[in-house]
């Protein structure tokens, strides 16, 4: 009698089997005799099936039989191989009464996958789970893993199922392989757990920021928000927010503070509101009598922000004499109150600066210290202007109610919507708020037409309102061979030869063929070149809707077309 112990990965699914002369067992996840080709010497052996239910075990994994008083083991071209484990000190000669362990699905050393799923694109709680599922499905396809990803309700958390990934919405994703997976599967699941945890944190932080009143609808502002969240959680000492006035930099700074894990206060100082003497005392404090009018000791913002976050708005306006004091504080987190020389104080703060100026140009012109720039620019985030955030404009108008209960967005005529999309919104949210207040002053009509919106915009705009772009119409059926030849011709004009290498092919496809095909597919043929950036943005929005692409893709392809191929 021979004794065999069969184990799955990590000692799972252990089976003790006894075999005698003329017997054979087929091991596998779902063994089938019809798929088995027996060795010639054991065609008459009695066959038993032994299931080993694990995803890394192949359906028909290994065959074990007894022949001429010897135990024989054959791996059936399994995906992960089979390992024979000998008792310590034994020779590999299998005899009766000796013990043998056969471990399935332990092969070569596994390595962690080098990439992870792409950042999912969701707009609300309704599509969060579906967006995460799509990212995971696309990632598994890249890894050539045939698996089903199902979105299910998670009524009770199930922590002991590695393929069940909990989502912040109360749902869960179940990742179920359709085929035998290799030994990297456990590492891939571990990576997915870490990735989903980070995505859940992003979702929860966006939800919290929205609850504070900030609009986070467009991909552009959400990407900036994610960069701010990464900076907050990575404990960077300083964050610099750049972008136009009214774009939401202070709300971003508040979100940074909320997610920094600090218990201290959020203190705001507008550097443009104080002259040199007052700004120094406002930042670092002053003793009573240290200057005219200082009748009592002043507690500076640095001291007030101890344990929390100091937000310096319009930091580009910081007086040249105060800049070295701020630099010294950021270097050592030490400061002196005005009138308290030689008795330094310390404060534990994280600093967020914001500016609508080009600080790099200010450094080059000598108006801002170079060393202070390098101290502040540990992490720089550009907060995009409202003209690049059409989804945010619409989200704001959706939640702004008319007297009859409708939203402003729902009452816009198509031409009025096109006008707002093409508008530059130079005042950003301040201008948008003022526009909505003007619209709300009069009794709401059935529909706000283009003329009504133009009037409301003109009353607060600094520059003339641009004309809207004519709607896109379907063009005639295209000659794709002719368009392809045109793209090759343009490439040859620029490079002096046809695409020869793989890099040439990639450049040809991305910079010549795609823009040309997109321009004609979206029906823009016959449209005049846009006169400015706003008109191009309006055309891109229409084109994106026409072909089912995102606006960023449309803007990129159309900009390239008008740059090179509109000849």
pLDDT in tens, 469-514: 555 554 445 567 777 878 888 888 788 788 888 888 888 898 888 8
Q: What is the pTM of this model?
A: 0.63
Q: Does residue 398 lie within any of the structural domains?
A: yes
284 lies in the same domain as 300: yes
The whole-angstrom distance between residue 347's C-alpha and the CA centroid of its chain comes to 34
Q: Which residue has the higher pLDDT, 310 or 98?
A: 310
Q: What are phi and psi of 535, to 5 degrees?
A: -65, -40
Q: What is the distance between the alpha carbons of residues 48 and 520, in angstroms, rounded to a whole number?
A: 65
Report which of 433, 444, 426 is spatially closest to residue 386, judged by C-alpha positions: 426
**Token duo for residue 357:** 């100026």
Structure confidence at residue 323 (pLDDT): 94
Determine, yes or no, domain membership for 114.
no
pLDDT greater at residue 512 or residue 536: 512
Please give the residue range of the domain that contains residue 518.
480-565
Cα 546 from Cα 523, distance rounded (Å): 8
Asked if the model's pLDDT at residue 119 lies above 70, the reply is yes
Chain-centroid distance, C-alpha 373: 28
- HEC per residue, 137-157: HHHHHHCCCCEEEEEEECCCC
138 in a structural domain: yes
CA 73 from chain center: how many Å?
49
CB 6 within 8 A of CB 100: no
pLDDT tier for residue 108 given thresholds of 50, 70 and 90: very low
- The span from the CA of 515 to the CA of 517, in Å, is 6
Bridge partners of 47? 24
Domain count, the chain: 5
Same structural domain for residues 251 and 340? yes
> Could you give phi then psi for residue 548, rounded to 5 degrees?
75, 30
Q: What is the pLDDT of residues 349-407, one digit of tens each?
A: 999 999 999 999 999 999 999 999 999 999 999 999 998 898 899 999 998 988 888 99
Instruction: Clarify whether residues 373 and 390 are in a common domain.
Output: no
CA 189/CA 96 separation, integer angstroms:
41
Angle between helices 514-521 and 551-560 (to 10 degrees): 110
Residues 147, 177: contact at Cβ < 8 Å? Answer: yes
| 288 vs 166, more confident | 166
Q: Are 487 and 444 in a shared domain? A: no
Task: Indicate if 170 and 237 belong to the same structural domain.
Answer: no
pLDDT of 111 reads 47
**Residue 534 predicted with pLDDT over 70:** no
- Name the β-bridge partners of 83: 103
> Is residue 240 assigned to a domain?
yes
β-bridge pairing 23-28 and 238-242: unpaired
- CA nearest to 219, candidates 129, 147, 118: 118
**Of 37, 71, 104, the domain-final residue:** 104
Report yes or no on 352 lying in a domain. Answer: yes
Same structural domain for residues 282 and 370?
yes
Instruction: Name the domain boundary from 361, 382, 403.
Output: 382
Please check the confidence at residue 159 and state whether its pLDDT lies above 90: no
Token readout for 12 is 């799972």
Residue pair 271/317 in contact (Cβ under 8 Å)? The answer is: yes
Among 382, 403, 437, the domain-final residue is 382
In 236-349, the DSSP E strands lie at: 238-242, 266-270, 309-313, 334-335, 345-346
């Amino acid at each position: 009698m021979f004794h065999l112990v069969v184990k799955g990965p990590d000692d799972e699914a252990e089976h003790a089997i006894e075999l005698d002369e003329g017997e054979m067992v087929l091991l596998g996840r779902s063994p089938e005799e019809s798929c088995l080709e027996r060795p010639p010497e054991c065609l008459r052996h009695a066959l038993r099936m032994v299931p080993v239910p694990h995803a890394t075990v192949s359906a028909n994994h290994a065959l074990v039989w007894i022949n001429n008083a010897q135990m024989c083991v054959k791996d059936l071209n399994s995906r992960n191989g089979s390992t024979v484990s000998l008792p310590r000190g034994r020779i590999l000669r299998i005899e009766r009464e000796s013990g043998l362990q056969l471990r399935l699905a332990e092969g070569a050393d596994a390595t962690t996958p080098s990439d992870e799923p792409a950042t999912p694109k969701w707009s609300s709680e309704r599509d969060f789970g579906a967006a995460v599922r799509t990212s995971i499905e696309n990632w598994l396809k890249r890894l050539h893993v045939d698996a089903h990803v199902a979105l299910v309700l998670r009524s009770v958390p199930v922590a002991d199922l590695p393929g069940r990934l909990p989502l912040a919405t109360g749902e869960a994703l179940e990742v179920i392989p359709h085929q035998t997976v290799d030994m990297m599967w456990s590492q891939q699941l571990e990576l997915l757990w870490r990735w989903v945890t980070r995505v859940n944190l992003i979702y929860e932080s966006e939800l919290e920021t929205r609850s504070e009143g900030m609009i986070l609808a467009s991909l552009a502002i959400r990407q900036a928000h994610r960069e701010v969240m990464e900076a907050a959680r990575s404990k960077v000492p300083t964050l610099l927010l750049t972008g136009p006035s009214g774009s939401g930099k202070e709300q971003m700074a508040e979100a940074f503070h909320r997610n920094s894990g600090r218990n201290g206060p959020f203190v705001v100082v507008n550097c443009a509101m104080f002259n040199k003497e007052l700004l120094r005392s406002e930042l670092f404090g002053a003793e009573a009598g240290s200057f005219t009018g200082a009748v009592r000791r002043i507690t500076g913002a640095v001291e007030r922000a101890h344990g929390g976050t100091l937000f310096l708005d319009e930091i580009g306006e910081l007086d040249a004499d105060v800049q070295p004091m701020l630099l010294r504080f950021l270097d050592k987190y030490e400061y002196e109150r005005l009138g308290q020389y030689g008795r330094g104080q310390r404060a534990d703060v994280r600093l967020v600066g914001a500016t609508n100026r080009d600080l790099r140009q200010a450094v080059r012109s000598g108006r801002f210290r170079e060393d202070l720039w390098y101290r502040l620019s540990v992490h720089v985030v550009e907060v995009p202007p409202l003209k690049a955030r059409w989804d945010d404009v619409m989200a704001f108008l959706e939640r702004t109610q008319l007297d009859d209960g409708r939203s402003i967005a729902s009452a816009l005529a198509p031409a009025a919507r096109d006008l707002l999309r093409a508008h530059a919104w130079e005042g950003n949210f301040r201008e948008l708020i003022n526009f909505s207040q003007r619209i709300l002053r009069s009794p709401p009509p059935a529909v706000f037409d283009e003329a009504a919106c133009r009037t409301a915009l003109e009353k607060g705009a600094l520059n003339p309102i641009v004309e809207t772009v004519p709607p896109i119409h379907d063009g005639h059926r295209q000659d794709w061979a002719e368009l392809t030849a045109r793209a090759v011709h343009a490439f040859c004009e620029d490079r002096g030869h046809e695409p020869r290498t793989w890099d040439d092919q990639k450049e040809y496809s991305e910079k010549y063929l795609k823009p040309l095909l997109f321009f004609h597919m979206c029906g823009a043929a016959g449209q005049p070149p846009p006169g400015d950036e706003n008109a191009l943005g309006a055309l891109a929005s229409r084109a994106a809707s026409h072909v089912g692409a995102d606006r960023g893709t449309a803007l990129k392809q159309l900009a390239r077309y008008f740059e090179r191929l509109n000849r």
